[in-house]
Amino acid sequence: MDSIPCALTIAGTDPSGGAGIQADLKTFQELTVYGMSVITSVVAQNTTGVQNVHHLPVTMINEQLNSVISDMPVHSIKTGMIANKDMMQVIAEHLSKSVVNYVMDPVMVATSGDPLISEDARSFLKQQLLPLATVVTPNIPEAQYITGQSIDNTSDLQEAAFEIVKSFGARAALVKGGHLQGKAVDYLYDGNKLYTFEAERFQTKNTHGTGCTYSAAITAHLSKGLPLYEAVKQAKQYVTAAIQYSFSLGAGNGPTNHWAVRKERVEQ
């Protein structure tokens, strides 16, 4: 058997299964990629919000990374919630030695509005982690934080994608228009070309974990050796179907549906 693509996610948990590590591993599995995970924080959360957070000691994050990297093939890496600067420092040390594609989901706030990372982590993320990223995938509030500019329309989104590459050093930026009205449009700038990814917007409140699912799908496709544009194109199809058939589970914002994606793929 050919060797299987292997992807690693470094992120926080979601016991309700919609976001974080759980969403990432479900996505890797659906896309037939062998999934591995390093947990940064254990988060008590569900579809209504975040109830509590327990951060793992930095030494434990370092040891998990050593355990995986010393033994397993890692073909691509994704980071999600990294709550503080000390954690980021340790993760940045590992990433700076790595040669594989690194997808950074600059998670700052949960869908519910609850903050997930500290103020000093935000600025470390912008200054130290961003330049290591193959691609960074901010939503509008995250892109606004990184660029310091307000984003009110699609032309602001495009400008933010240029700015994040040119002024902040990410190799590519995928700025997501999920929080605007109208079509669900995202822009990818890779330093050469601007690409547009457009999908129908579905009227649903069940968008818990959409950002995690999208960036995990990009990571999965990159681990298979797809070029960035193709990886994003296929990931956009994945997240769109996962939102279209999202679950009305829980009292708040329900989770994405990975099975619907599988059903669609099989029927094609």
Ligand X SMILES: Nc1ncnc2c1ncn2[C@@H]1O[C@H](COP(=O)(O)OP(=O)(O)OP(=O)(O)O)[C@@H](O)[C@H]1O
Ligand Y SMILES: Cc1ncc(CO)c(N)n1
User: Where do contacts with ligand Y occur on this chain (CB under 6 A)?
Assistant: 11-14, 19-20, 43, 45, 80-81, 107, 110-111, 116, 209, 211-212
Quote the tokens at residue 245. Answer: 């058939």
Nearer to ligand X among residue 47 and residue 240 (C-beta): 240
204 touches ligand X (CB under 6 A): yes
Q: Is 178 a catalytic residue?
A: no
Within 10 angstroms of residue 113's Cβ, the number of other Cβ atoms is: 9
Structural Rg of the chain based on CA atoms: 17
| Between 79 and 147, CB nearer to ligand Y | 79
Q: Nearest approach, Cβ of 252 to ligand X (angstroms)?
A: 11
From the candidates 177, 209, 213, 219, which is the catalytic residue?
Answer: 209
174 touches, from ligand Y, ligand X, none (C-beta below 5 to 8 Å by class)? none
Between CA 145 and CA 124 the distance in angstroms is 12
Site for ligand X in 148-177 (CB under 6 A): 176-177
Give phi and psi for 9, each to the nearest 5.
-110, 140
Token duo for residue 18 = 């919609």
177 is catalytic: no
Alpha-carbon span 9 to 24, nearest angstrom: 7
With CB atoms as reference, the residue minimizing the distance to ligand Y is 20
Q: Is 202 in the site for ligand X (CB under 6 A)?
A: yes
Q: How many CB atoms lie within 10 A of CB 240?
A: 21
The catalytically annotated residue of 20, 35, 177, 211 is: 211
Query: What are the residues whose beta carbons fall under 8 Å from the beta carbon of 48, sequence distance 6 or more?
Result: 112, 250, 251, 252
Taking the C-alpha atoms of residue 217 and residue 221, their distance in angstroms, rounded to an integer, is: 6
Whether 212 is a known active-site residue: answer yes
Structure tokens at 162: 């240029």
Q: Which residues, 21 to 40, sit near ligand X by CB under 6 A?
A: none
Residues making contact with ligand X (CB under 6 A):
19, 111, 139, 176-179, 184, 186, 199, 201-202, 204, 207, 209-212, 214, 236, 239-240, 243
